[in-house]
Structure 1
Amino acid sequence: MGTSRWYTELPESSRARPAAVLLLFGVLDTLDSDHHSDAVSRDLDILLLERASTLRLNPGQIAFPGGRVDDDDRDVVAAAVREAEEETGLDPSGIDILGPLEAIPLAYSNYLVTPVLGWWRHPSPVGVVDEAESAAVFRAPIADLVDPVNRGVTVLRRDDQTWRGPGFLVGQGSEAHLVWGFTAMVLDSLLDRLGWSEPWDETRELPLSL
C-alpha cells in the first residue's frame, strides 16, 4: 500500500508480532450514501467495528476486523478471515479474497500489520460476538468516507509529542463514530491509491471525542 503521507517514520522491529486486518468491501443492503461521488458507487461499503472500551490496546477506537496471527493460521490471509469471523460472526464462505497489501509496522504496539483486501460476494449477518472485544459492528458507505464534509485531521498530544493524522466521521447522532489512528491512515492511503479521494480541508481539526 505504501507509507501514508501522515507518517514520517514507521520503524520496524525485528521482533514485531505479525497481525492482519480484513478490509472487506461489499454492497450495502440498507440505505445508500447521500453523497454523490464520480469515482465511488453510493452503495459500496466497508465493514468496521468499534473496539470495546475495556480493552487495554486502543479501547473504543473504530477498527477493521483483525488481530494477531496465531501459530495455527496458514498465513496472514487466514488470520484476517478467522479474526473477522470471530469478531463479527460473518460467514467466510461468502468472501472472495483479493489479496494482501504491504505490511505496516506499528512501533507503538510492536505489531507488523498486513491489510487483506476482500470482496463480500454473499454478505451474511454480522454483529457483536463478544462484548469484551467489540462494542459495535457496522458497515460504512465508502461515499460517506470520501465526502469532504466528513473528513478532517485528528491531533493526539502525548508525552510532549504531537501526532497529526487523518480522520473520518461516519454515522449520525448516537451512531456517529470518528475513525482515526491506524484505521484512518489505512483508509486514507487506500482511497488515495484507488483514486477515490476528493479534495478536503486539511486544516479542519476533528476532536478525538464525539
Structure 2
Amino acid sequence: MTTRNDALDQLRRVLSRPGGASSDFDLNPGYAPPEGRPLRPAAVLVAFQEGASGLDLLLTKRSSRLKHHPGQIAFPGGKQDEVDSGPVAAALREASEEVGLPPASVEVLGQMQTHETVTGFLITPVIGFIRDAFEPIPEAGEVDEVFSVPLAHVTDPARFSIEARIWRGQERQYYTVPYGPYYIWGATARILRGLAEGMAA
C-alpha cells in the first residue's frame, strides 16, 4: 500500500518534470479556436487529503442553478482576479470561498501546465496537500456538494475513457473518469488525465 509520503513524493516528482499544456481541443484536431483569441487567466486547486486508504482528491459538484456548467464536477477554482498575486493565490482564494478550505491548511506542491478551455479560459492547475482536517462548507448558490475520490482512481489511465457529444453542431470528444454516481468529464477529466500520465511515466 502506498503511504501518504510516498504519494506526495510521487506527485512532487511529476511536477518537477516539464509537461505539455493541454486543452479542450486535444481530442478534436478538426476544431481549432480563432488565432489570437483573448484568454482569461484562471486557476483551480487540485487538492489532496488523507483518506481511508491513501490520499483522496477533493472535488465539487457545481450548483444546478448556475448559468455556466450547472451540475458539473469541478475542482475548486475560478478566474484570477486583480487582487490575486498569481495562480496560487487565486486557487487558494477560490477554494476558501467555495468549500471553506483555509489557505494556511494547504501545502502547495507545485503547478501543472496550463489548460485552455473552449470557453476562453487559460487554467493553471495548482496541486496541493491539505495538511489539517477541515469540514467543507459548500458555498451557497455555487456548490451543491463537496466529495472525495481516491488518488489511485484518478491517476490510473485505465479508468479513463473517451466519449463524445454534439457541441455547436459538431461532434466533440472528451475524456471521462467516472466515480460512482459522479460523472467526471471535460476540462476536469483532461487535467486529471495529464496527471495520470505523469504518474504512470
Partner of 2:125: 115
2:183 match: secondary structure: strand
Question: Greater helix percent: which structure?
Answer: 2
Shift in alpha-carbon separation, 1:82–1:157, aligned structure 2, 3 A: same
Is structure 2 residue 71 aligned with structure 1 residue 60?
A: yes
Equivalent residue runs for 1:1-210 within 5 Å: 1-4=19-22, 6=27, 8=29, 11=33, 13-28=36-51, 31-32=52-53, 43-106=54-117, 108-130=118-140, 132-146=141-155, 150-171=159-180, 176-195=181-200
How far did residue 100 of structure 1 move?
A: 2.1
- List per-residue Cα deviations over 1:64-122 (Å, max 9, x = no partner): 0000111111111100000001000112211111122222222x211111111111122
Shift in alpha-carbon separation, 1:127–1:170, aligned structure 2, 3 A: farther
Query: Which runs of 5 or more residues in structure 2 are unaligned?
Result: 1-18
TM-score for both structures, normalised by structure 2? 0.79
Aligned counterparts of 2:108 and 2:39: Cα–Cα separation in 1: 25
Aligned counterparts of 1:63 and 1:113: Cα–Cα separation in 2: 12
Aligned counterparts of 2:103 and 2:32: Cα–Cα separation in 1: 32
Between the aligned residues of both structures, percent identity stands at 36
Kindly report the root-mean-square deviation, in angstroms, between the aligned alpha carbons of the 2 structures: 2.2
Aligned counterparts of 2:169 and 2:28: Cα–Cα separation in 1: 18
1:115 match: secondary structure: strand
How far did residue 143 of structure 1 move?
A: 1.9
2:49 match: secondary structure: strand
Aligned AA (1:6): L
Aligned counterparts of 1:45 and 1:73: Cα–Cα separation in 2: 27
Aligned AA (1:70): D
How far did residue 139 of structure 1 move?
A: 1.3
TM-score for both structures, normalised by structure 1? 0.76
Q: How many pairs are equivalent? A: 178
